[in-house]
Structure 1
């Protein structure tokens, strides 16, 4: 298995989790303050739901979603266009030897939760779940 693969069979290390959360908070603050010199990005309210880092901490993937989920592709485009400035601003505030390269992906967690909720509310699923509880 590849060493830098997110899905290497083991979960992320404590260091990866700590650095990912630090980047998430810092990136959120930078975006909320409007520190980036791009007016388009400054007009958007973007939520940074999670940041995952590779084991060597050279790459960080930020899972983002614009407020309300609207104009997601425009938000991704603006973030990617300003990637180097965002990396510089994040690195300036963090106490890391090297700032990871940033990648941005849409956060689909909320969509997945909505779909799970929809599936669980179906009559046949509720009936089956009720049957499991009766048997237990």
Structure 2
């Protein structure tokens, strides 16, 4: 069977998906309750859209967005600054043998959805799709 050169592999395992979702829920809960000792971070409402883990579960990348989109320029820095405390809390709450290193990225999916909607609203694209 020929391997598609554009395919990155088999995709995440069930374990990666399960651990990523557990981390996402826990991280969301911790941030919502303001359990972090950083008043600047606690003042912001943060949406954790997705958490992807590496195959060995040593790295977890959280895709975040401040509620309402305000503060996008500072949220990743605030979370990175509190990474060790967040990692400790997640490791304790989930009972993981090794808590993964947390990385934070701005969640771009909302922007991508808006752009897709904008493209589909164009007359020439709508005409091509309907045909």
TM-score (norm 1): 0.89
The runs of at least 4 consecutive aligned structure 1 residues that moved more than 6 Å come to: none
CA distance in 1, matches of 2:8, 2:36: 34
What is the aligned partner in structure 2 of residue 12 from structure 1?
12
* Pairing 1:38–2:34 present: no
Q: Equivalences for 1:68-87 in 2 at 5 Å?
A: 68-87=68-87
The offset of 1:70, in angstroms, is 1.3
In structure 1, the residue matched to 2:114 is 114
SS of the equivalent of 1:112 reads: helix
Instruction: Give deviations 1:29-83, integer Å, cap 9, x for gaps.
Output: 0000100000000000000000000000000000000011111121111101000
| Post-superposition offset of 1:17 | 0.1
CA distance in 1, matches of 2:130, 2:63: 35
The CA distance in 1 between the partners of 2:21 and 2:69, in whole Å, is 22
> 1:64 is paired with a residue of what secondary structure?
strand
Name the CA distance, whole Å, in 2 between partners of 1:17 and 1:73.
28
Unaligned runs of 5+ in 1: 1-6, 132-136
Q: Please report the RMSD computed on the Cα atoms of aligned residues, expressed in angstroms.
A: 1.0
Any gaps of 5 or more consecutive residues in structure 2?
A: 1-6
Q: 1:56 to 1:8 in 2, by over 3 A?
A: farther
Q: Alpha-carbon deviation of 1:8? A: 3.9
